[in-house]
Amino acid sequence: MRRFLFFAMAAAIILFSVIVNGAAPQKKVAFITIDDGPTLNTPNIIETLKAHKAGAAFFVLKDRIETYPDYIRMMENEGFTIGLHGVSHNGDIYATPTSPLNEMNETNDALYRLLGRRSMVVRTPFGSKPSLTDRQRELLTAAGYCIFDWNVDPRDSIGAVVDKEAVLRNLKEGLEDAGPTAVILLHDRKSTADNLDRILTLVEEAGYEFGTLDENTVF
Ligand SMILES: [Zn+2]
CA of 86 to the centre of ligand 1 (A): 9
Nearest by Cα to 122 from 207, 47, 213: 213
Domains contained in the chain, CATH given: 27-211 (3.20.20.370)
d(CA 128, CA 130): 6
CA of 35 to the centre of ligand 1 (A): 5
d(CA 107, CA 215): 17
**For position 18, what pLDDT does the model report?**
45
CA of 37 to the centre of ligand 1 (A): 9
pLDDT (tens digit per residue) in 86-131: 999 999 999 999 999 999 999 999 999 999 999 999 999 999 999 9
Whether the pLDDT of residue 78 is over 60: the answer is: yes
CA of 84 to the centre of ligand 1 (A): 10
Give the phi and the psi of residue 205 in degrees, each rounded to 5: -65, -25
CA of 90 to the centre of ligand 1 (A): 9
User: How high is the mean pLDDT of the chain?
Assistant: 92
CA of 77 to the centre of ligand 1 (A): 23
Q: Give the residues across from 146 on adjacent strands.
A: 121
pLDDT band at 160 (very low <50, low <70, confident <90, very high): confident
Nearest by Cα to 48 from 173, 210, 208, 159: 210
Whether the pLDDT of residue 12 is over 80: the answer is: no
CA of 105 to the centre of ligand 1 (A): 17
Tell me what the mean pLDDT of segment 11-31 comes to: 64
d(CA 7, CA 115): 54
CA of 131 to the centre of ligand 1 (A): 13
**For position 159, what pLDDT does the model report?**
84
CA of 53 to the centre of ligand 1 (A): 24
pLDDT (tens digit per residue) in 43-67: 999 999 999 999 999 999 999 999 9
Whether the pLDDT of residue 15 is over 50: the answer is: no
Q: Do residues 191 and 168 touch, judged by C-beta distance below 8 A?
A: no
Q: Structure pTM? A: 0.89
CA of 85 to the centre of ligand 1 (A): 7
Tell me what the mean pLDDT of segment 7-28 comes to: 57
